[in-house]
Structure 1
């Protein structure tokens, strides 16, 4: 008997009896994956950073400093973020292993070192996961968290709870798009993203994918996660904004003909940033794994050109170094 979606709701456009889907048009055609793999191999892509990997690491990585008690956010590379809110620690998509792969000997390898180990955290209260791809849901990291911080509460999209429990997670809540939960002083809402899910050859789109909105009295933060551009993303700002902090992806976009349905490029990220009111924004989904054809140092350069082309002079959407942090109270906000 074919697998049936136990969460299926016919009234929801992103649900199907067999899993989940994007409301947007599917842009990939049969044979596109094979074409991309063939062209990538023929061209020897991706190319290394222009000055080489050691120079890239020197330019774009720094140690993580967890001292202090103020509300703060750290970018840990790729899509991984750490927040300290009212002395509670929140990790988002913590892929901290050497490979984004089911195997320790094959698959995309880190090109920049993980700036933080789970053991360095004083404690951990919440973990948010956007979807089940290996560069966002990292089994070794999840197992370390479950062992060291058994009280940590995981928030995941529909279909990922059992996986977490089987890796030792004791407290996990699954949410559909637009569903919320209040924990402590913060509200967490799962929001749409234009992406897909797959962890094995047999589970494509059986679990949901999402972004997250984290809101407390001083912060309204949108983590867009892994997403292609869509006009539908504007609904998130319309319903849950205005935001005073965001994290938007700018990497894994080349070639655009193959990646555009699942990853936005820097030009699209700038367009979305403008549409949501230009909050302080962390460019994410770059700098660690070579998942597409652009070099590691291309996304920040293309982002700078995209801002220039859009006549934007603000410093509120510029690349951070891996390990860099900012204090949250310094963010100008006008939350209603």
Structure 2
């Protein structure tokens, strides 16, 4: 049994049998407080970070504060003193005040086995690949149990070398659809793939089902659900599921 609980933005609690993973939790107003009202959250945090207990590993895709939020991570640590964290090296400075039991800066395609769950680090392009001596500044995660494979992309756009890292026929993917464009670039906001790109990438990678992420939290860096729904309906591609912040599904 796998349970997925959306935390909003790209954040998820992933419960697999007796293992609990937390991915990119953003459950505060840290970005607004640091960068201003244009980053005011559109959604209320669905859960208090200190109420997330029994966490085995936290997975962080990159150092941007809506993914690596020191306030949220500190609160989760308060009630999970033995939790370990997998993150890029660029996150180490941000989380240095939190005494995690173990910080794992894994290289691309390096794996961590947790009971019968396998976690593999893959690169992400945000918006470019940045890889140095095997370490990627931006990461995604392949999470596998038995023959079921999930792919959490973190923040990324499609990239040419994806086939070197991602298997064909992924069972479930989490893909960010807060498109990049001229106006975001001009404002210094890094977007990800467009709805059309997500649909095409799903087709190319033969992903069986996917969940849109990075659409609900910021008005200046999100996407309306209708944008994806209209395009998907026109091309008859409906193999995705919207999950609202705080919602839990079982697969």
Same-fold call, TM cutoff 0.5: yes
In 2, Cα distance between equivalents of 1:301 and 1:191: 30
Of 234, 248, 251, which aligns to 1:325?
248
Contact 1:164–1:172 (8 Å) recurs in 2: no
Which residue of 173, 178, 203 maps to 1:246?
173
Give yes or no for the alignment of 1:282 onto 2:206: no
Structure 1 residue 172: deviation in Å? 1.2
Aligned to 1:217: 146
Q: Which residue of 2 aligns with 1:6?
A: none
Structure 1 residue 267 and structure 2 residue 193: aligned? no
Q: SS at 2:78's partner residue? A: helix
Alpha-carbon deviation of 1:218?
A: 5.0
Matched ranges for 1:41-190 at <5 A? 70-101=1-32, 103=34, 108-161=39-92, 163-190=94-121
1:50 matched to which residue of 2?
Answer: none
* Higher-Rg member (1/2): 1
Q: CA deviation at 1:125?
A: 0.9
Does the Cα contact within 8 Å between 1:130 and 1:156 map onto a contact in 2?
yes
Q: As a proportion of its length, which structure holds more strand?
A: 2
In the alignment, is the contact (CA less than 8 A) between 2:86 and 2:103 conserved in 1? yes
Task: Give CA-to-partner distance per residue, 1:179-215, whole Å, 9 cap, x none.
Answer: 2121222111111111169xxxxxxxx9711111111
**Residue of structure 2 in register with 1:208 after alignment:** 137
Residues 163 and 135 (structure 1), Cα distance of their counterparts in 2 relative to 1, 3 Å cut: closer
Shift of 1:225: 0.9
Match of 2:132 in 1: none
Are the counterparts in 1 of residues 107 and 136 from structure 2 also a CA contact under 8 Å?
Answer: no
Alignment counterpart, residue 308 of structure 1, candidates 224, 228, 233? 233
RMSD: 2.7
Q: Give the TM-score, by structure 2 length.
A: 0.86
**Matched-pair contact (CA < 8 Å) for 1:126–1:154:** yes
Instruction: Indicate the SS of the match to 1:84.
Output: strand
TM-score (norm 1): 0.65
Q: Is the 8 A contact 2:24 2:67 kept in 1?
A: yes
Whole-angstrom distance in 1 between the partners of 2:83 and 2:184:
40
Structure 1: tracts of 5 or more residues without a match: 1-69, 198-205, 329-336
